[in-house]
Structure formats: structure tokens, C-alpha cells
Amino acid sequence: MGARGPMKKAKLSLAPSTPVSKDREAPPLVAADPIAKAAWDNAVDQLVNQGIYQNCDQEALERYAFLAGLCRRYQKDCLESGGIQVTSTGYKQLSAELSCLLKTSSEMRSLERALGLNPEARRSMDLGAIENKDELTAFLDEAG
């Protein structure tokens, strides 16, 4: 420590200096649910294409994929029930499924921002969209 606090370190870079891990298999809990597995595969592919996928992302990605599966189930239940329930006194209120859907989708949005899975998060992380580009085009765009 310096006289006035911790010493300044070099600015962190988004591109890791160590090679990216090849471990991209979905955890067993995610692999058991087809919707969660599809969300896992999509998120991992997107992070790999951006060049920012690392092993430390796996727990957050697992939570994101699990929440994606839950959201789909809550959406289905809400469409069937209408999202409103009537109490015994005739009072109308949000159904439990709709409340769970709102909480789950809120958590998913925060994970999307943290992982860089939506366009707004990629802009704030200074990552360009390289989706649907071949390797040569992506390389030439990076070179400027």
C-alpha cells in the first residue's frame, strides 16, 4: 500500500491474456432442461464470438440458463391463467405465476447486463457486434 491507499494498477483489459477455456459443456442441472440448455448454448456461443468467455462465467451462465427455463414455464402458465387470480372476496390480483415471472425476468435482465448478453451491455463494455460475420471480416473490422 502507498501512503494514501492502494497503489494504482494497470488498467484492466477486456481481452484476457491467458487462453480461453475449452470447457463449454452445460452443467447437469441445465442439460436436463431443453429450454435451459438452448439458453446456455446461445449465451456461450455469443460470449465466445465476442472473445470474452471464461471459466469464471460458468456459475452466472448456469443461473441465467436456469432462469430462462423458469421464465418459459411461468410464461406458459400466465398465458393459460391470464395472469390474474380472483380471491374468495372477489378481489382481483396478480397470480403467483405472474409475480414469479416478473421477479425471474428482472434477475435475468441483470445477468444479461453483467455478462454482456444484450446490445446495451456490449456497448457499455466497448464490444462491437460481431454476430454473423466471418473470421476475415471480424479481423478486418478489429484492425480498423
Task: Tell me the average confidence (pLDDT) per consecutive run of 10 residues in the chain, 144 residues long.
Answer: 56 49 77 91 85 81 90 88 84 87 88 80 63 61 58
Write down how long the chain is.
144
Provide the pLDDT for residue 13.
47
Query: Is 16 among the domain residues?
Result: no
Provide the pLDDT for residue 129.
52
Provide the pLDDT for residue 28.
85
Sign of the CA dihedral with 106 first, then 110, 116, and 118 last: positive
For residues 111 and 104, what is the distance between their CA atoms, to the nearest angstrom?
A: 11
Query: Is 4 among the domain residues?
Result: no
Query: Is 49 among the domain residues?
Result: yes
Residue 51 CB burial class (10 angstroms; 0-12, 13-18, ≥19)? middle
Split into its structural domains, the chain has a count of 1
Query: Is 8 among the domain residues?
Result: no
Query: Is 85 among the domain residues?
Result: yes
What's this model's pTM, rounded to 2 decimal places? 0.63
Provide the pLDDT for residue 25.
83
Structural domain for 69, as ranges = 28-121
Provide the pLDDT for residue 11.
47
Provide the pLDDT for residue 138.
62
